[in-house]
Structure 1
Amino acid sequence: MMFKTGYQRGLLAEAVARLYLRLKGYSIIEQRYRNSYGEIDLIIRKGRRLVAVEIKFRQSQRTAAESITRRQCQRIERTLRAYLGQLAWQPEEIRFDVILLSPKSLPQHLKNAWQSNH
């Protein structure tokens, strides 16, 4: 099935990532979470671990990984810090993961893809 727009490809990539993470035992807390700092594709939870997930779909997983910029990581970190202030529970661990997707490849889950500076 061909998708005409990047938006449609993005929706499919997010659906694949959600299913993949659910199969790995994660609960989806938020999808496309937005606040004044930015957007996080997925916020997931496993036990007392809270994870912000960036989803990248490109023609290869290598180019997907290379498309993640330091500025984007910082924006996700700020967005998650603001989100944490709304939680009724305190996570024991906070992590930033990336799901890399490309045609004809299984999803690649990069756990702890980067460390927060704060």
Structure 2
Amino acid sequence: MSRRSTNRQRAESEGRGAERWAAWWLRFHGWRIIGQRVRVAAGEVDIIAKRRGIIAFVEVKRRKSAADLDHAIDSYRLRRVVAAANMLAPHYARNREDIRVDVILLAPRRLPRHLVNVTI
């Protein structure tokens, strides 16, 4: 197995772990997880969660240090999540729920940082 392949597998595993941790964080705060790793042509949404008439399309980012979190989400990635959320909204927001895009940022030894209704 190549070094690049091993690094990619490690990154994939860490990303999945971050998404599981973010899902538990959301559940702890009253959200119900209604979708995970949902892919459409426009991109992927890590978590889709519902709480009190709101559907949140959540992007999860994990970095090795808290200092790196400030640069974890950029406009390119956010546009992809927004495009995917727009494609998925009719399926998940059937009862006229409000929809929004959130970001959860994770770093070791830090509580998750939940950014609400992030815009481009």
Show CA shifts across 1:26-79 (max 9, x none): 010110010111001001110110111111100123312312111111111111
User: Which structure 1 residue ranges, 5 or more long, are not aligned?
Assistant: none
Residue in structure 2 matching 1:22, options 20, 27, 30: 27
Query: Which residue is 2:37 aligned to?
Result: 32
For normalisation by structure 1, the TM-score amounts to 0.86
Q: Which amino acid aligns with 2:60?
A: I
1:86 offset after TM fit, Å?
Answer: 2.1
Contact 2:104 2:113 in 1 (8 A): yes
Q: Which amino acid aligns with 1:18?
A: A
Is residue 58 of structure 2 the alignment partner of residue 56 of structure 1? no
Is residue 95 of structure 2 the alignment partner of residue 89 of structure 1? yes
CA distance in 2, matches of 1:9, 1:86: 29
CA distance in 1, matches of 2:96, 2:67: 35
Query: Which residue is 2:51 aligned to?
Result: 46
Number of positions where the alignment pairs a residue of Structure 1 with one of Structure 2: 111
Q: Which has the higher helix share?
A: 2
User: Which structure 2 residue ranges, 5 or more long, are not aligned?
Assistant: 1-8
Is residue 106 of structure 2 the alignment partner of residue 110 of structure 1? no
User: Secondary structure of the residue that 1:85 maps to in structure 2?
Assistant: helix
Query: Which residue is 2:74 aligned to?
Result: 69
Dislocated runs of 4+, deviation >3 Å: none
Is residue 13 of structure 2 the alignment partner of residue 8 of structure 1? yes
Q: Which amino acid aligns with 2:71?
A: E
For normalisation by structure 2, the TM-score amounts to 0.84
Give percent identity, aligned residues only: 32
